């Protein structure tokens, strides 16, 4: 397998995918490098049963999960809140954000991941379809259904979306 060609072809797609997950450019860049390193060193190279991008995104997702677990072990819980912040506004924003994340966390796949790729990763429907080895139309329909599910669940919470 020509890893240089693989890297050149899929770097931006893997990086964009990790940006949707990490929402941090520096972390996404580090993880992208790690993904290609793992792909190069793996004992189970791409076997052709799925697309190369799908294979790389699976490695990326697992790498991101591993990083989250590692970060959770070292996270400091004693963060101080600056005195000039309006706690009521901060709580209202955090509460709405928390509700959205709770809904996304409980949402079944592939709706959850398609929605995150589209909104947070700003990927096109065509690229989302490629990641899942599906068509662009499938990606559009899945995204639309995910939005409807989120809207329905937000209305259950009494929040407009």
| 105-146 residue pLDDT tens | 788 888 888 888 887 777 889 989 998 999 999 999 999 898
**88 against 7, higher pLDDT:** 7
One domain for residues 22 and 62: yes
pLDDT given for residue 65 in this prediction: 85
- Reduced to 3 states (helix: H, G, I; strand: E, B; else coil), residue 123 is coil
Residue ending a domain, choose from 11, 40, 73 = 73
Whether the predicted model's global pTM rises above the 0.85 cut: no
C-alpha separations of 72 from 22, 66, 67, 68, 100 in Å: 14, 10, 9, 6, 21
One domain for residues 100 and 39: no
pLDDT given for residue 83 in this prediction: 46
Diameter of the chain measured on Cα atoms: 56
Per the CB < 8 A criterion, the answer to whether 25 and 34 are in contact is no
For a pLDDT cut of 70, what percent of the chain falls above it?
75
pLDDT band at 93, cuts 50/70/90?
low
One domain for residues 111 and 143: yes
**95 against 27, higher pLDDT:** 27
pLDDT given for residue 96 in this prediction: 63
């Amino acid at each position: 397998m020509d890893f240089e060609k693989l890297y050149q072809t899929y770097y931006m797609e893997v990086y964009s995918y990790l940006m949707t997950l990490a929402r941090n450019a520096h972390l996404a860049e580090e993880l992208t490098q790690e993904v290609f390193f793992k792909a190069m060193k793996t004992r189970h190279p791409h076997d052709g049963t799925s697309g190369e991008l799908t294979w790389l995104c699976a490695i990326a997702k697992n790498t991101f999960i591993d990083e989250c677990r590692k970060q959770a072990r070292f996270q400091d819980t004693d963060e101080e809140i600056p005195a000039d912040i309006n706690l009521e506004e901060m709580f209202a924003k955090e509460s709405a954000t928390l509700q959205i994340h709770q809904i996304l966390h409980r949402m079944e796949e592939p709706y959850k991941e398609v929605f995150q790729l589209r909104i947070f990763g700003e990927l096109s429907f065509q690229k989302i379809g490629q990641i899942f080895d599906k068509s662009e139309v499938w990606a559009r329909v899945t995204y639309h259904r995910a939005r409807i599910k989120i809207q329905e669940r937000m209305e259950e919470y009494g929040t407009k979306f």
